[in-house]
Amino acid sequence: MARRRQIYEGKAKILYEGPEPGTLIQYFKDDATAFNAQKKGTINGKGVLNNRISEHIFTLLAGIGIPTHFIRRLNMREQLIRQVEIVPVEVVVRNVAAGSLSKRLGIEEGTPLPRTIIEYYFKDDALGDPMITDEHILAFGWASQEELHDMADMAIRVNDFMSGLFAGIGIRLIDFKLEFGRIWDNDYSRIILADEISPDGCRLWDMSTGEKLDKDRFRRDLGGEVEAYQEVARRLGLFPEGADSAVLDLETHRKRRGK
């Protein structure tokens, strides 16, 4: 079989050349990293779950008019996407204090924020993704004023939609990270949502118990990562093919640990 050309390998995904010009295949790995890849591990079945969860959320977002790179899911670990020029900026949206915000500003995790906060980080592993402001983005030309406006606008719409989606299944959307890309049509370009939306890049807390259903289970050595991701998929109404053997519900996991 002819080998597909690999375009890029990141921490959690691999990009391959797509079947048509302007398309790519996004492959979801089980690899997990945290703290700028200082902590590395594998979460068996994560790729399958993230592929499915991201497909679901991107499809729903397209339904409310958010343009995304997602075309269709191809199999358990792969999806066909539009090739974009990635904007080197990570857009973080926060509803509740957690993670780096809590640490930096001394605000207790779980404190609701007085308003939704958008933050920007420069996508550069060697620099550890430093926080930046819109001034840096504009000064260094990473995005134009109009593109920045479009990204912030979409980020707020995604937040409103996802907050409701997760609230409906008993999950608090604490914060999340988005990435955007540029697509060209002759001399014109526009910004679309890219990358993925999954428990790898969101903080999701169970509304009644406060239990973490996201990558903090890995970052903080809490265990039960797959079970948590599976719980998110299950509540979203997704039953990933083939992932069930790798997956236990949280109750079973707790029993296994004898708690």
Residues that bind ligand UDP (CB under 6 A): 90, 92, 98-101, 129, 175-177, 201-203, 215
CB of 178 to ligand UDP, least distance (A): 9
Residue listed under structure tokens 């997704």? 238
Say how far apart CA 177 and CA 166 lie, in whole Å: 16
User: 4 or 39, CB closer to ligand UDP?
Assistant: 39
Instruction: Provide the minimum distance between the beta carbon of 159 and ligand UDP in the complex, in angstroms, as a whole number.
Output: 12
Smallest separation (angstroms) from ligand UDP to the CB of 185 = 29
Distance of closest approach, residue 64 Cβ to ligand UDP, in angstroms: 21
Task: HSE, CB side, 13 Å, CA atoms: give it for residue 186.
Answer: 0
Q: Shortest CA distance to 50 belongs to which of 37, 34, 32, 35?
A: 32
Cα separations in angstroms, 197 against 67, 141, 158, 228:
14, 26, 10, 15
Place of tokens 């969860």: 53
Q: Which helix (H) or strand (E) holds 136?
A: helix 134-139
How far apart, in whole angstroms, are the C-alpha atoms of residue 119 and residue 197?
17
Q: Which helix (H) or strand (E) holds 31?
A: strand 31-34
Q: Which is nearer to ligand UDP, 37 or 64 (CB)?
A: 37
Least distance between ligand UDP and beta carbon 258 (Å): 29
Helix, strand and coil content of the chain, in percent to the nearest 5, comes to: 30, 35, 35
Q: Which is nearer to ligand UDP, 3 or 115 (CB)?
A: 115
Kindly tell me which of 88 and 189 has the beta carbon lying closer to ligand UDP.
88
Q: How far is the CB of 129 from ligand UDP (least distance, A)?
A: 5
Shortest reach from residue 103's CB to ligand UDP, in Å: 7
Contact 151, 89 (CB under 8 A): yes
Neighbours of 21 (CB within 10 A): 7
* Nearer residue to ligand UDP within complex by CB, 137 or 202: 202
98 versus 155: smaller Cβ distance to ligand UDP:
98
Looking at the Cβ atoms of 18 and 204, the one nearer to ligand UDP is 204
Which residue is closest to ligand UDP by CB?
Answer: 99
- Residue 253 Cα to chain centre, angstroms: 25
